[in-house]
């Protein structure tokens, strides 16, 4: 049941419950805003203490408000909100914004109040925004349910914010800047409507061309992933995620557990869903404006047109830092520029027309660049010169840009002299930035997003031969355990079709010799004990045992040593395994994130995983591209793909191992962490073998000895 959110932005009528005639009250400001921006629907103040406010009849109770009313905005003390909501429900209102604070954010009592509000809303099939929020804004219908002073220009950006303050600050900053908004929504505590609901709604809003969001947490990560993956096929989502600082240390029981934090889950989800993640508020809107007003680039080759070398150098640096190239201009473009521009001008890219460049020079160079098939995007720089009018340059650019099908961005460096030019450019839908460094992150984001749209939208893959029932039986056998060591984990991985290094469990020296003889010498011996997680750290691994005698001796030594060293450990026996063939060691791991579910990790294996942090993450379920992306994101991936004449490794076998482990994690929510380290990768066509592994169950913290 996800009803349409349209009444929050385009209701036929809106009631303000708690409207006040006292200008020092926030509710007064809200009513003023409801009337100030051209909203054509009915506005009804509700307050038993007043007869009329701003000349509008003030109703004592929501039940008495006449039709049409589709939205209630509630700003009364928290304890009174449930009753007001109930009344709204009875009145047939299906959308309410609770501005009031005093709910979940103040403690358990407030949380109970919030829960009641949600129950009342559900009963009446009513959708709620808030509580503890700043309201909504629709620049196209003129609805303004906030008390923020002023609004941005009308345009195609819709901004969803989990912080009302960030919304307010942004609007205060963007007023008069010509950055165009379609809608704004502050979501507060998200008792009902979440960021994902808003994204789903905005995807269908014809006025919204770009969805921008400030997000502190995403509770239903899997749903976000599904929704965002679909929406970004036709509308960009740009997102600023706060709270990247990990609060406190997690209980760490594996490399994956130590490396795959909440941030990694978010980051992976954004990559997998084509969401453009940004680092700052400024980037959020610089990129949003470009996506709102300009076409996507068809490639990564950029031309810089400038009247000064220094700023062009800074722009070039930032382009390179974001994976873009300076376009190699076509010969005819160079000839045309040479013929028309100042003879001292630099007609390579950057096209530096020097300080004397006149408005027609800008128009000429822009026209040439637009026609050049080697050019995918254009970045125009102007530094104020004493004798050139920036606004006139802007007008010439606008004129030349009329036929453009490539993105054009401008940087008029400064502020005092370029205000009028900004107005000219922004009215024509050409974003103008203050500093040349914007070139890189704006065009980089546009180009990555354009590429994302070109990938076909793939489905997650589940490999064949995952024996769920067998795995369930094994897990129920170890239900009381928190940690499954290699011996037990091997059984689960085998059930899901992973290839293991040949080996078997032996309880005593005799069984060990028998196992070794079956495998053929030399063999490896590894301790099996629920208390030993890092076998090599305690002397629980012996390599290259070449005879029955050596196996016997090794067994006795290992047991004696470990009994002395770890008197409380249960030493159940040993694993006897074949010696590993040559190959590269990688790690494949999984950590279950509370918001996103299983987060998969791939990277360079061995004992230095945490030292090198050469790892990549994706949220399961995975598409083939997701899994391939993990590999190619790492240096390990480059190594395996034939770096420095090395033989290409069996990437398909890694892919298969990642997908099998992710299927196991998806099928069994009690698995909290799982780690294959190392997975030994053989040359192409020869597969990959699990050399060691471990699994953590439920809320297990390892008895890490």
Residues 567-626 that bind a second copy (CB under 8 A): 607-608, 610-612, 614
Give the Cα separation of 16 and 98 in Å (integer).
10
| List 111, 153, 252, 639, residue binding a second copy (CB under 8 A) | 639
Give yes or no for residue 21 binding a second copy (CB under 8 A).
Answer: no
Largest CA distance in the chain: 101
Give the Cα separation of 532 and 546 in Å (integer).
25
Least spacing, CB of residue 695 vs a second copy, in Å: 22
DSSP conformation letters of 29-71 = HHHHHHHHS---SEEEEE-TT-SEETTEE-BSSGGGPPSP--E
Q: Phi/psi zone of residue 534: left (φ > 0), alpha (ψ -120 to 50 degrees), beta? A: beta
Give yes or no for residue 442 binding a second copy (CB under 8 A).
Answer: no
Considering only the stretches 51-59, 220-228, 306-314, 372-380, report the one whose residues sit in contact with a second copy under the rule CB under 8 A: 306-314
Give the Cα separation of 46 and 63 in Å (integer).
10
Give yes or no for residue 168 binding a second copy (CB under 8 A).
Answer: yes
Give yes or no for residue 111 binding a second copy (CB under 8 A).
Answer: no
Does residue 678 have a cis peptide bond before it, meaning omega lies within 30 degrees of 0?
yes
Considering only the stretches 199-207, 309-317, 479-487, 675-683, report the one whose residues sit in contact with a second copy under the rule CB under 8 A: 309-317
Give yes or no for residue 29 binding a second copy (CB under 8 A).
Answer: yes
| List 230, 434, 547, 632, residue binding a second copy (CB under 8 A) | 434
Give the Cα separation of 466 and 622 in Å (integer).
15
Give the Cα separation of 70 and 384 in Å (integer).
52
Considering only the stretches 204-212, 218-226, 239-247, 248-256, report the one whose residues sit in contact with a second copy under the rule CB under 8 A: 239-247
| List 476, 480, 564, 645, residue binding a second copy (CB under 8 A) | 645
| List 383, 400, 446, 525, residue binding a second copy (CB under 8 A) | 383
Give yes or no for residue 109 binding a second copy (CB under 8 A).
Answer: no
Give yes or no for residue 249 binding a second copy (CB under 8 A).
Answer: no
| List 322, 552, 638, 684, residue binding a second copy (CB under 8 A) | 638
Give the Cα separation of 665 and 242 in Å (integer).
28
Least spacing, CB of residue 412 vs a second copy, in Å: 9
Give yes or no for residue 307 binding a second copy (CB under 8 A).
Answer: yes
**What kind and span of H or E run contains 185?**
strand 180-186
SS3 393: helix
Give yes or no for residue 435 binding a second copy (CB under 8 A).
Answer: yes
Positive or negative CA dihedral for 554, 556, 559, 563?
negative
Please report, as residue ranges, which positions from 257 to 276 form the binding site for a second copy (by CB under 8 A): none
Please report, as residue ranges, which positions from 169 to 208 form the binding site for a second copy (by CB under 8 A): 169-173, 175-177
Closer Cβ to a second copy, 280 or 468, answer by number: 280
Please report, as residue ranges, which positions from 347 to 376 form the binding site for a second copy (by CB under 8 A): 355
Residue whose pair of structure tokens reads 């060293």 in the numeric block: 565
Please report, as residue ranges, which positions from 527 to 556 form the binding site for a second copy (by CB under 8 A): 537
Give the Cα separation of 383 and 245 in Å (integer).
38
For residue 507, which of 576, 565, 580 has the smallest C-alpha distance? Answer: 576
| List 320, 339, 457, 473, residue binding a second copy (CB under 8 A) | 320
* Number of residues near a second copy (by CB under 8 A): 76
Closer Cβ to a second copy, 13 or 390, answer by number: 390
| List 87, 137, 308, 391, residue binding a second copy (CB under 8 A) | 308
Residue whose pair of structure tokens reads 């303004």 in the numeric block: 144
Can you read off the two tokens belonging to residue 545? 């045992």
Question: Apex CA 459: angle with CA 454 and CA 463, to 5°?
Answer: 135
Closer Cβ to a second copy, 122 or 175, answer by number: 175
The HSE-up count of residue 339 (CA atoms within 13 Å, CB side) is: 8
| List 86, 220, 437, 511, residue binding a second copy (CB under 8 A) | 437
| List 89, 221, 311, 350, residue binding a second copy (CB under 8 A) | 311
């Amino acid at each position: 049941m996800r009803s349409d959110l349209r009444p929050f932005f385009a209701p036929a009528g809106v009631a303000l419950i708690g409207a006040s005639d006292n200008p020092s009250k926030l509710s007064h400001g809200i009513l003023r805003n409801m009337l100030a921006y051209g909203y054509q629907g009915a506005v009804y103040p509700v307050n038993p203490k007043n007869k009329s406010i701003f000349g509008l009849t003030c109703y004592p109770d929501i039940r008495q408000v006449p039709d049409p009313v589709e939205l209630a905005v509630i700003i009364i003390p928290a304890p009174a909100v449930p009753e007001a909501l109930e009344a709204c429900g009875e009145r047939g209102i299906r959308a309410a914004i609770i501005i009031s604070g005093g709910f979940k954010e103040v403690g358990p009592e407030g949380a109970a109040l919030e829960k009641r509000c949600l129950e009342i809303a559900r009963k009446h099939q009513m959708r709620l925004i808030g509580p503890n929020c700043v309201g909504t804004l629709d620049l196209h219908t003129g609805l303004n349910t906030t008390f923020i002073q002023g609004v941005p220009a009308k345009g195609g950006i819709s901004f969803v914010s989990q912080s009302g303050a960030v919304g307010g600050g942004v609007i205060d900053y963007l007023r008069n800047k010509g950055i165009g908004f379609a809608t704004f929504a502050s979501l507060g505590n998200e008792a009902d409507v979440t960021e994902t609901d808003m994204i789903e709604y905005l995807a269908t809003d014809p006025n919204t061309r770009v969805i921008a969001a400030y997000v502190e947490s995403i509770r239903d990560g899997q749903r976000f992933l599904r929704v965002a993956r679909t929406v970004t096929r036709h509308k960009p989502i740009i997102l600023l995620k706060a709270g990247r600082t990990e609060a406190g240390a997690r209980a760490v029981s594996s490399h994956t557990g130590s490396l795959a934090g909440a941030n990694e889950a978010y980051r992976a989800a954004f990559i997998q869903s084509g969401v453009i993640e940004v680092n700052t508020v400024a980037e959020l809107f610089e990129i949003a404006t470009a996506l709102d007003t300009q076409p996507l680039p068809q490639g990564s080759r950029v031309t810089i047109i400038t009247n000064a070398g220094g700023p062009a150098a800074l722009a070039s640096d930032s382009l390179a830092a974001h994976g873009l190239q300076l376009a190699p201009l076509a010969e005819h473009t160079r000839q045309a520029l040479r013929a028309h521009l100042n003879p001292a001008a630099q007609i390579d890219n950057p096209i530096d027309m020097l300080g004397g460049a006149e408005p027609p020079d800008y128009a000429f160079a822009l026209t040439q660049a637009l026609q050049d098939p080697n050019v995918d995007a254009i970045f125009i720089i102007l530094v104020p010169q004493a004798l050139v009018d920036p606004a006139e340059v802007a007008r010439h650019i606008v004129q030349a840009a009329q036929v453009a099908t490539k993105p054009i961005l401008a940087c008029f460096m400064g502020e005092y002299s370029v205000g009028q030019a900004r107005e000219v450019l922004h009215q024509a839908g050409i974003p103008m930035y203050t500093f040349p460094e914007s070139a890189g992150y704006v065009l980089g984001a546009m180009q990555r997003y354009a590429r994302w749209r070109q990938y076909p939208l793939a489905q997650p893959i589940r490999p064949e031969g995952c024996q769920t029932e067998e795995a369930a039986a094994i897990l129920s056998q170890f239900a009381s355990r928190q940690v499954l060591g290699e011996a037990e984990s091997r059984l689960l991985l085998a059930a899901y079709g992973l290839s293991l290094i040949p080996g078997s469990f032996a309880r005593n020296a005799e069984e060990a010799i028998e196992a070794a003889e079956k495998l053929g010498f030399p063999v490896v011996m590894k301790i099996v004990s629920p208390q030993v997680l890092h076998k090599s750290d305690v002397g629980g691994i012996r390599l290259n045992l070449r005879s029955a005698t050596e196996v016997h001796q090794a067994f006795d030594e290992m047991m004696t040593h470990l009994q002395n060293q770890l008197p409380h450990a249960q030493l159940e026996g040993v694993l006897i395994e074949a010696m590993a063939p040559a190959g590269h060691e990688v790690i494949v791991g999984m950590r279950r994130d509370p918001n996103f579910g299983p987060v998969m990790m791939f990277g360079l294996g061995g004992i230095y995983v945490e030292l090198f942090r050469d790892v990549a993450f994706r949220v399961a379920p995975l598409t083939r591209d997701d899994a391939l992306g993990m590999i190619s994101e790492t240096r390990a991936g480059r190594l395996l793909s034939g770096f420095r004449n090395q033989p290409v490794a069996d990437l398909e076998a890694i892919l298969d191992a990642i997908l099998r482990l992710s299927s196991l994690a998806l099928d069994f929510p009690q698995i909290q962490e799982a780690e294959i380290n190392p997975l030994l990768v053989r040359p192409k066509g020869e597969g990959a073998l699990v050399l060691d592994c471990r699994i953590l169950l439920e809320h297990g913290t390892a008895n890490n000895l």
